[in-house]
Amino acid sequence: MQIIAITNLKGGSAKSTTTFNLAGVLVEAGFKVLCIDIDPQKTLGDAFFGVQAKGETLSAVLVKDSLLSLAVQPTKFERLQVVPADDGLKGIKSGQTQIEGGELRLRSCLTRLKTNLDQVNGVGQIDWVLIDCPPSLDRLTMNALVASDYVLIPVDAGAGGRVALADTLEYVYSARKWYNPTLKVLGLLISNTDTRTVYDQETAALVRERYGDLVFKTTVTASVRIRESAELQMPLVFCKGAEFTRYADIYRTLRDELLQRIRSKA
């Protein structure tokens, strides 16, 4: 089981969109995927997948250090499950909900899942866990980083996005230093870009110049089709119509590059 946190301090950098569509292309390739929405805004679970928390919630699991599989919900896609966000995460995020060893709770839950000690609610062997983080560097994001094997950072290449990227990387390196020494930065993904404009070409070039091979070769261009797939609550690879194929192929290319990077880091 490989665990990837998708994170960036900056809002609107396509964290949820990346998680949503990366899950789709991994499922298309035959993998079993679990998405965890640890963002109290509930974009991934509620808005994109149309799945709401019920019964045991993610926040309750983190507070009680109980079985994560109790909070797992099915989606309409085979081999794709989700742990939706819930309002209780706001208390953890703000610090109002006090938890001893709070930064370690998600790792504890995922360790039990990884070692087959947590198989409730029809949860079987998981190949990939994708964690959609909030647009802030807080206890919830730290939980995700401490629990993960890898970090994927979607990047808005504009001026504000580059500043947020530097802060995000600093936070990732802090998590690695103090909590998770095996955490690896899988790559930076330039997203929401219009390669037809000189500005977007130049800002993407600045990111590539500064961070080199850390930047994925794949670039996700902005498109209404990507937004439409989220409205349909269907990852691009499952959307019917040639107009979606071009953008689904971008995420297929990202999947292949991601798998190659992980093999090279193994």
State whether residue 163 is helix, strand or coil: helix
Confidence of residue 121 (pLDDT cuts 50, 70, 90): low
Tokens of 143: 């939980």
Domain positions in the chain are 2-265
Instruction: Fill in the DSSP letter of residue 132.
Output: E
Nearest Cα neighbor of 34 from 116, 129, 145, 152 is 129
CATH class of the region 2-265: alpha beta
- 159 has pLDDT over 80: no
Digit-coded pLDDT (tens) for 68-110: 989 999 999 989 999 999 999 998 887 667 677 778 899 999 9
Q: Mean pLDDT check: name the lowest of 120-124, 161-165, 189-193, 214-218.
A: 120-124
Tell me: pLDDT of 248 over 90.
yes
What's the confidence (pLDDT) of residue 200? Answer: 80
Model confidence pLDDT, tens digit, residues 16-73: 999 999 999 999 999 999 999 999 999 999 999 999 988 899 999 999 888 898 999 9
Categorize the per-residue pLDDT at 225 as very low, low, confident or very high, splitting at 50, 70 and 90.
Answer: very high
What token pair was written down for 21? 């569509």
Question: Are 165 and 8 contacting, i.e. CB atoms less than 8 angstroms apart?
Answer: yes
Angle subtended at Cα 38 by Cα 36 and Cα 57, rounded to the nearest 5 degrees: 80
* pTM of the predicted structure, to 2 decimals: 0.94
What is the pLDDT averaged over residues 162-176? 92
Pairing of strands 150-155, 184-190: parallel
Q: In what order do the strands lie in the sheet with 2-6?
A: 73-74, 80-83, 33-37, 128-132, 2-6, 150-155, 184-190
pLDDT value at residue 123: 75
pLDDT of 196 > 90? The answer is: no
Q: Give the span between the Cα atoms of 36 and 254, in whole angstroms.
A: 20
Tell me what the mean pLDDT of segment 135-144 comes to.
92
Cβ–Cβ under 8 Å, residues 77 and 27: yes
**What does the pLDDT average to over 128-141?**
93
